[in-house]
Structure 1
Amino acid sequence: MHDRGVHPTNSPIKQFEFELWPCLCSKTDIVSCFSGKCRGGNRAIVVIQRCARCGKNNLFVSKVSLCCATFDFTDPTKILIEKDLKRQTLLELLDFVSGSVRFSEPAILAMCRMCAVNLFRVFPPNYRSTSSNGGENDDDEPMFDPAWPHLQIVYDLLLKFITSSGLDAKVAKKYLDHSFILRLLDLFDSEDPRERDCLKTILHRVYGKFMVHRPFIWKAISNIFYRFVFENERHNGIAELLEIFGSIISGFALPLKEEHKILLCRVLIPLHKPISLGVYFQQLSYCVSSLRKNQSCAVPR
């Protein structure tokens, strides 16, 4: 079972407390709700779409709180009812978020915390590639998280949430902050290509919606490349991160800023060095070809 990393204490998400929901007061109560023992009675199983408009956001927050419960998926024969109830709740939340809804600040905070609790985890050492080639190898058998049936829905939820027209970016940026983004970037080292693909789409949407975070995302990805090239040459998500990089580069206005030219040269040229180049060569080539629109980038500095 993977270690679920604790979110940094300097993040607003840490301020999120269970007393936000009248029917819940502890993680034990949350787990109990999935086994039909919630002290709040039937309030925990009310369908959001059948709730009065004025109460939908509050019920949404309560439902999201239930999904902060995490289960051990290493034994597929245990707590099946609770796991299935959580899955049904996640699917209901996904259906609700996909519709026309205006998210309150408590709802935004609740969603960010639930996603953090479920997604942010530390991969054990043997999970990461130990191949001398680094990165993902066609001969390696990737290790998949047994909790993927739930993780996939949480990723879908986060994507719909971020792209929703009912999400106020000015409010959400307090919770989808630099700490949250760094934890998302950590997950790109997952051996599961499905997870990396979800992360790629989500991070690209975050970059598009939260303009205030763009410089930070750009530098954070660059730092991953630096560590990959100059420290260990081991990372499973270089290709996906380069795809994001390529998309960003193609959107740069001409002429390119001097800072972009220097940074791109310092990042892209060294990426030709690792022996695992073949894993991400196509994505790197796209980034390099995008620079041809401004040939001054090719001048050594």
Structure 2
Amino acid sequence: MIKQIFGKLPRKPSKSSHNDSNGDGGVHDNSSLNSALGPNSLNNSKSGSASSKPSNSSRSNNGPLNSHSSTSNKSNHGKKTASLASQAGPISASGVYEALPSFRDVPSSEKQNLFLKKLSLCYVVFDFSDPSKNLREKEIKRQTLLELVDYISSVSSKFNEVAMQEVTRMVAANLFRTFPSPNHDSKILEMYDMEDEEPAMDPAWPHLQIVYELLLRFVVSPETDAKLAKRYVDHPFVLKLLDLFDSDDQREREYLKTILHRIYGKFMVHRPFIRKAINNIFYRFIFETEKHNGIAELLEILGSIINGFALPLKEEHKLFLVRALIPLHKPKCVSMYHQQLSYCITQFVEKDFKLADTVIRGLLKYWPVTNSSKEVMFLGELEEVLEATQTAEFQRCMVPLFRQIGRCLNSLHFQ
């Protein structure tokens, strides 16, 4: 009897249907935006579209985001964007990797969706250590990247947040990687003679170059709204870019120099953070490792930044001169970046002539004792600083200055 009564009572809806009715499925899909998307899903997205339509999931595997997804993305961007740079990693090639239609072959209304699909296709990172491996797939990806560059350059409407997120995720998957850490104790002398070595060439450069070009076009594009993009080109993203300055490949460092400079110019909110992050790289280089491949490029960026400092100089900027730039004369490999360092130092003195005494005394503090070629560089920099020095500042430091010049004149290397 009791069983019959219970059997007539309405059953409680299942947990899964309850979640779907409240849109919680979109939250789960948002978290999956940071997960790996395999190439198989590109081929299955069309065949599985019929089964996925009734669902409330925010996104099919690699298809376009629907309106529910964009709303969810906007409401949750503060929770997830900070980890994009750290969580987005390369996806190895497995399964079928097929090219997508060209932008010319689809109507304008479908180009945005195709753009997102092409970005997803480029998440896959191939192994370039074996030149004969995945030749067809590598060429498909290269052509897709070139199409993406052209699309970003020619697009005439503002990028929405979904597109910005996908661009930064694809860039992170392809570019952000860890370089092997050398034994610094045994590498210092080698680094000092790096000018005589053959430049290192990354075998993956055919793809890396286009990804860098895509990122550069995205940053400088007038259709990229800095107020929105700062949520995706955020502090972790900038730190990962700065880590890449230690690349052995000079071509990569040149692209990074241009991109970071453009980011500094466009994203004003990031400027103090970028300067502080560069300071930290200098501190570690000076006082711990004395090994970093990108000091010259970072100094070149700073030379342009210092040139734009407003007067009077902030105390923060003066501390940067005293704590970072002047101690950069200490490492044995200073010849690798001395030209850029000298320019930064001279910029400070030209901005504020009262800093001349501080700079000259700093040069005297790190004056080389046994390295004659390094001494010649210091003399050249000293000459440039003295040209911008006023009489009052010169008189403050002239006694120790002329003592050092006298020692140079008495040197066995003097000609």
TM class by smaller structure: 0.7 to 0.9
Amino acid at match of 2:160: S
- Cα offset, 1:150, TM superposition: 0.2
Q: What's the counterpart of residue 22 of structure 1?
A: 60
User: In the alignment, which residue of structure 1 is the partner of 2:302?
Assistant: 245
Residues in 1 aligned to 2:303 and 2:178: alpha-carbon distance in whole angstroms: 28
Listed one character per residue, the Cα deviations across residues 12-66 of structure 1 (whole Å, up to 9, x for unaligned) are: 99854558763638x99985452x3xxxxxxx62212443333222210110000
Task: Find 1:186's aligned residue among 232, 243, 250.
Answer: 243
Q: How far is 1:148 from its partner?
A: 0.7
Residue 107 of structure 1 corresponds to: 163
| Aligned 8 A contact 2:92 2:126 in 1 | no
Change (3 A) 1:28 1:288: closer
- Match of residue 128 from structure 2: 73
SS, match of residue 255 in structure 1:
coil
For the pair 1:295 / 2:339, whether they are aligned, the reply is no
Identity of aligned residues (%): 54
Which secondary structure does the structure 1 equivalent of 2:62 belong to? coil
Is residue 140 of structure 1 aligned with residue 178 of structure 2? no
Q: 1:98 aligns with which of 153, 158, 166?
A: 153
Pairwise CA RMSD: 2.6
Structure 1 residue 60 and structure 2 residue 115: aligned?
yes
Instruction: State the distance in 1 between where 2:171 and 2:330 align.
Output: 36
Task: Quickly say closer, same or farther: Cα 1:123–1:20, change in 2 above 3 A.
Answer: farther
Cα distance, 1:239 vs structure 2: 0.3
Map of 1:126-205 to 2, 5 A cutoff?
Answer: 126=182, 131-133=187-189, 134=191, 137-205=194-262
Give the superposition deviation at 1:146. Answer: 1.1
Matched, 1:274 2:356: no
User: 1: CA distance between counterparts of 2:32 and 2:330?
Assistant: 40
Residue 355 of structure 2 aligns to which amino acid in structure 1? Answer: C
233-242 or 264-273: bigger deviation: 264-273
Task: Confirm or deny: 8 A CA contact 1:173 1:210 kept in the other structure.
Answer: yes
How far residue 130 of structure 1 moved from its aligned partner, in angstroms, is 5.4
Answer 1 or 2: higher relative contact order, Cα 8 Å, separation at least 6: 1
Query: Take 1:136 and 1:122, find their aligned partners in 2: how far apart are those partners?
Result: 24
Q: Which residue, out of 195, 213, 225, partners 2:282?
A: 225
In structure 2, stretches of 5+ residues that fail to align are 1-29, 38-56, 64-89, 360-415
Distance 1:287 1:279, change over 3 A: same
Give the letter aligned to residue 204 of structure 2: A
TM-aligned CA deviation for residue 127 of structure 1: 10
The code of the aligned residue for 2:352 comes to N
Residue-by-residue CA offset, 1:79-120 (whole Å, 9 max, x unaligned): 100000000000000111111332111110000000000000
Question: 1:89 pairs with 126, 129, 144, which one?
Answer: 144
SS in 2 for 1:288: helix
Q: How far apart are the structure 1 equivalents of 2:354 and 2:113?
A: 55
Residue type matched to 1:92 in 2?
A: E
How far does residue 136 in structure 1 lie from its aligned partner after superposition?
7.4
| CA distance in 2: counterparts of 1:14 and 1:28, whole angstroms | 14
Question: 1:104 is aligned with what amino acid?
Answer: N
Name the residue aligned to 1:41: none
Larger mean Cα displacement after TM superposition, 285-294 or 200-209: 285-294
Q: Using a 3 Å threshold, how does the CA distance of structure 1 residues 31 and 21 change in structure 2: closer, same or farther?
A: farther
Task: Please tell me whether Structure 1 or Structure 2 has the larger radius of gyration of its CA atoms.
Answer: 2
Q: Which residue of 1 aligns with 2:46?
A: none
